[in-house]
Chain A
Amino acid sequence: MKKPLSKFDSIIETLPQEQQELVDSFFMDLSTKVILVPSEKHKLFADFQNIIIYYLKAGLTLDAALNRIDVANLGGFYSRMPSRWFALDYSAKIYPLSMGHGQMSVFRLSVYLKKDVVPEVLQMALTFTIKRFPQFATTLKKGFFWHYLDSTKAHYAINEETARPFLPIRVSLTGSKTFKVLYFNNRVSVELFHALTDGTGGMIFLKTLMHEYFRLLGIESTLDATTFDVNVAPDFDENANEFAKAPKTKAGGFMSKKSLQLSGKLTRIKPCQVIHFKLDSQKLIEVAKLNNTTVTGYIITQILIANKYAIEANSGDVSIQVPVNMRKFWPSKTISNFTMYFALRLALKDITTTKEIIEEVNKQLVEGSSKEKMMAMMYSVRQMVRNIRFIPLFIKTPIAKIAYGFIGERSYTNTLSNLGIVKFPAELEEHIESLDFILGTAVLNRASCTLVSFNNTTTLSISKITLDSSFEERLLSLLSDDQIPLTIEGSDVYENVKYLSVRKKTKNSTRKN
């Protein structure tokens, strides 16, 4: 019996003979460029078929469509066997060592478009972009002394978001990916295992992906310094482990005092909710200036006050971990991790009003994030990694898990990571609404905060692992008191499913009645 024609074949059959030949020759060309296993090759071919169908339906001529998705955009990525591997940079080494079942360091960057995402185009954009980020096209593997990233040539698929953010990235299987590209309505998100990159590297990936997405939609734009040309060979400096070059200084310590945690009960699902405060950037800057501080200083102050409201304790310290992008002290092209941290600490009893604590916050911000302190910490990381490099991984792993438990989240109450102002080329900005940035699964810190600004919107995101809403409610009232215009977006409470099912049952029974 004759096999029924696929959707693609039936559309192509309606085209004139010469165009059909053009399509055949395109796929012949594609076939020579892809040496994946048949199942993966089939998926890649399906992506090309889907985008051709999309283009034709959108009224593009076949010539123009094939021109946009020219197989030259694949480079030699799929025509070569995987042979490269990447040692983890020194600050990334802790992430695979400290992960557990259902718990790994992941972060998420999202861009909100003015129109809904076209999945066929996003898929092709990822296919063309991935070759430019060889350290992302990898699988995490175990060496005798350290983990490393092993090149994986496979079909990198986008997925529609159907569940909560930060579903575990399964990195254990053969050819497992260490990142995800997701879409939901008008949002494109990348969730990245922290061992791959930091926020800066992640944002370069997202920007490059979006540049390619818009090019495939026919919107050309100029490249800026933080968007890669997908058809240029990767620079070796982009994988540089800058920690290895840290100059000798006085070593900075990692050990820190235990801090208070927000008092809400920990949820089983992590994060149980994501909240975005979308703030008016101009007004936020004005308010920060009025308080003689920066935007980071102002938000930290508000977080400290909100923390006090959400903690039930008589004494102790509240501490906020603030990541510092080392690229501002040490110019680097690396998209590997190149971030250090410092903790801003205040006694619970000293947290009073914005006016009273702002000076102390400013002082600690300047001192804590100074070049001297950060370089000292960078040197400490280098020394620590070098000192333990010959200890086998099976000994290092349990020790790292215990040590991370002690000097990890116990020493701070929450995190504020500020990615700063993100710019897109002018041609793209008109198609983009906003951005957000979320930190993944914390273990103890009930509310992890992030900031990112785009155009006149600064998004303050909170990922939560408690149902207690006092922290964000207090933060909201503080921001509102300062007359900062804001809108609130976010997710359902994913933990509270029992309540939701009860509510649904109640609704149904009411209808029956």
Chain B
Amino acid sequence: MKMLNTYPSAKKQKIQREKINEIVRWPFIIGVFVLPIVNFFTGAPVWSPVAIWSMWIVWSMLFSPQLVEYNRISNVVRLVTNVAILLVLIEFFIAPGWAVEVVSIVGFSGLIVLSILFFSNLHKQRQNLFPMLLFIIVTIVLAVTGIIIWREQSHWAIITLGTTGVAFLVTTAIVLRKDLLNEFAKRFHTR
């Protein structure tokens, strides 16, 4: 069919993300099925959940990033949450007895990183407030729960996590005031 070309000419296309995902997807899918089977035959310790979760972190952070809200705050929240879950899995399945401290340290380190990212560019980052708020609230709830459960022992890391979370929340509330409530109205709307 003869036609007048009114568009920019075809150029060599860059390799598209979908193409890469298409190729990389298979080792991940195979891994999810094969690793538990291998683990079953190799016996204890149960390392396959840790391996699968690690693969999930790589897949979700590198190959299939978020389609909406892919920003520095939500990425840090997702990374810290994923790493915390990974540490809990290692503690539970492979090497018990250390995760409470380490997860708390990862948690408050995450909070400090988030506070730097948020307050260093408040004008722009206020649009990304919600994942951070959720993270702060979850850390406070977990810290309070931890303090109640292990009240007989002194876990400095949990206390630091809780106080860092509360301090960050209060500072955010003071800085944002009414905007904080508006943010909740937007994020929890059912219209």
The verdict on A174 contacting B127 (CB below 8 Å), with A145-B189, A268-B16 known, is yes
Tell me, yes or no, whether B68 is within 8 Å of chain A by CB.
yes
A489 touches B3 (CB 8 A): yes
Return the chain B residue nearest A278 by Cβ: B4
Docked CA distance A352–B69 (Å): 50
Tell me, yes or no, whether B154 is within 8 Å of chain A by CB.
no
Cβ contacts under 8 Å, B130 to chain A: 141-143
Q: List A195-249 residues whose CB lies under 8 Å from chain B.
A: 241, 244
Cβ contacts under 8 Å, B3 to chain A: 275, 488-490
Tell me, yes or no, whether B19 is within 8 Å of chain A by CB.
yes
Q: Which of A147, A187, A500 contacts B6 (CB 8 A)?
A: A187
A184 touches B7 (CB 8 A): yes
Q: Which of A145, A147, A187, A497 contacts B12 (CB 8 A)?
A: A497
Docked CA distance A88–B151 (Å): 47
Return the chain A residue nearest B134 by Cβ: A144
- CB of B65 to closest CB in A, whole Å: 7
Tell me, yes or no, whether B70 is within 8 Å of chain A by CB.
yes
Tell me, yes or no, whether B18 is within 8 Å of chain A by CB.
yes
Q: List A375-413 residues whose CB lies under 8 Å from chain B.
A: 389-390
Give the number of residues in A that approach B within 8 Å (Cβ atoms).
60
Return the chain A residue nearest B182 by Cβ: A83
Cβ contacts under 8 Å, B120 to chain A: none
- Interface contacts (Cβ under 8 Å), in number, total 132
Per-residue CB contact flags for chain B residues 158-191 toward chain A (1 = under 8 Å, else 0) read 0000000000000000000000001000111111
Cβ contacts under 8 Å, A174 to chain B: 71-72, 124-125, 127-128
The verdict on A491 contacting B186 (CB below 8 Å), with A102-B16, A163-B11 known, is no
Docked CA distance A173–B125 (Å): 11
Tell me, yes or no, whether B153 is within 8 Å of chain A by CB.
no
Tell me, yes or no, whether A437 is within 8 Å of chain B by CB.
no
Q: List B25-66 residues whose CB lies under 8 Å from chain A.
A: 64-66
Return the chain A residue nearest B190 by Cβ: A389
B68 touches A142 (CB 8 A): yes
B127 touches A150 (CB 8 A): yes
The verdict on A184 contacting B8 (CB below 8 Å), with A489-B3, A490-B3 known, is yes
Question: Quick one: which of B8, B65, B72 has the most chain A CB within 10 A?
Answer: B8
Docked CA distance A82–B129 (Å): 14
Q: Which of B1, B18, B186 contacts A148 (CB 8 A)?
A: B186
Cβ contacts under 8 Å, A490 to chain B: 3-7
Docked CA distance A492–B128 (Å): 40
Per-residue CB contact flags for chain A residues 132-173 toward chain B (1 = under 8 Å, else 0) read 000000011111111110101000000001111100000111
Cβ contacts under 8 Å, B18 to chain A: 101-102, 268
A173 touches B70 (CB 8 A): yes
A175 touches B124 (CB 8 A): yes
A144 touches B188 (CB 8 A): yes
Cβ contacts under 8 Å, A164 to chain B: 7-8, 10
Return the chain B residue nearest A110 by Cβ: B6
Docked CA distance A143–B182 (Å): 12
- CB of A239 to closest CB in B, whole Å: 11
Give the number of residues in B that approach A within 8 Å (Cβ atoms).
40
Return the chain A residue nearest B10 by Cβ: A492
Cβ contacts under 8 Å, A390 to chain B: 190
Tell me, yes or no, whether A501 is within 8 Å of chain B by CB.
yes
Docked CA distance A164–B5 (Å): 12
B64 touches A37 (CB 8 A): no
Tell me, yes or no, whether A117 is within 8 Å of chain B by CB.
no
Cβ contacts under 8 Å, B66 to chain A: 172
Return the chain B residue nearest A83 by Cβ: B182
Docked CA distance A244–B68 (Å): 25
Which stretch of A256-264, A336-344, A469-477 is in the interface? A469-477
- CB of B89 to closest CB in A, whole Å: 20
Q: Which of A139, A150, A268, A491 contacts B19 (CB 8 A)?
A: A268
Tell me, yes or no, whether A121 is within 8 Å of chain B by CB.
no
B190 touches A145 (CB 8 A): yes
Return the chain A residue nearest B121 by Cβ: A37
Docked CA distance A87–B188 (Å): 11
Cβ contacts under 8 Å, B123 to chain A: 37
The verdict on A141 contacting B188 (CB below 8 Å), with A269-B13, A497-B12 known, is no
Q: List A475-502 residues whose CB lies under 8 Å from chain B.
A: 476, 487-494, 496-497, 500-501
Tell me, yes or no, whether A331 is within 8 Å of chain B by CB.
no
Q: Which of B4, B67, B71 contacts A489 (CB 8 A)?
A: B4
Cβ contacts under 8 Å, A244 to chain B: 191
- CB of B146 to closest CB in A, whole Å: 25
Docked CA distance A219–B65 (Å): 47
B127 touches A172 (CB 8 A): no
Per-residue CB contact flags for chain B residues 63-91 toward chain A (1 = under 8 Å, else 0) read 01111111110000000000000000000
Docked CA distance A99–B123 (Å): 29
Return the chain A residue nearest B4 by Cβ: A489
Tell me, yes or no, whether A85 is within 8 Å of chain B by CB.
yes
Cβ contacts under 8 Å, A185 to chain B: 6
Return the chain A residue nearest B64 by Cβ: A101
Cβ contacts under 8 Å, A497 to chain B: 10-13
Return the chain B residue nearest A275 by Cβ: B3
Tell me, yes or no, whether A96 is within 8 Å of chain B by CB.
yes
Q: Which of A101, A148, A184 contacts B189 (CB 8 A)?
A: A148
Cβ contacts under 8 Å, A139 to chain B: 127
Docked CA distance A144–B66 (Å): 15
- CB of A154 to closest CB in B, whole Å: 9
Tell me, yes or no, whether A274 is within 8 Å of chain B by CB.
yes
Tell me, yes or no, whether A253 is within 8 Å of chain B by CB.
no
A144 touches B69 (CB 8 A): no
Docked CA distance A165–B9 (Å): 11
- CB of A409 to closest CB in B, whole Å: 17
Q: List B104-149 residues whose CB lies under 8 Å from chain A.
A: 123-125, 127-128, 130
Cβ contacts under 8 Å, A241 to chain B: 191
Return the chain A residue nearest B125 by Cβ: A174
The verdict on A146 contacting B68 (CB below 8 Å), with A152-B127, A161-B8, A164-B10 known, is no
Can you offer 12 A-B residue contacts whose CB atoms are under 8 A?
A96-B68, A101-B67, A144-B187, A148-B189, A152-B127, A172-B70, A174-B127, A274-B7, A390-B190, A489-B3, A491-B6, A497-B13
Name the 7 nearest CB pairs between A and B, nearest first.
Answer: A491-B7, A172-B70, A87-B191, A488-B3, A492-B10, A389-B190, A174-B71
Known: A142-B130, A491-B5. 10 other contacts (CB 8 A): A101-B21, A102-B18, A161-B8, A165-B7, A171-B67, A174-B125, A488-B4, A489-B3, A489-B5, A492-B9
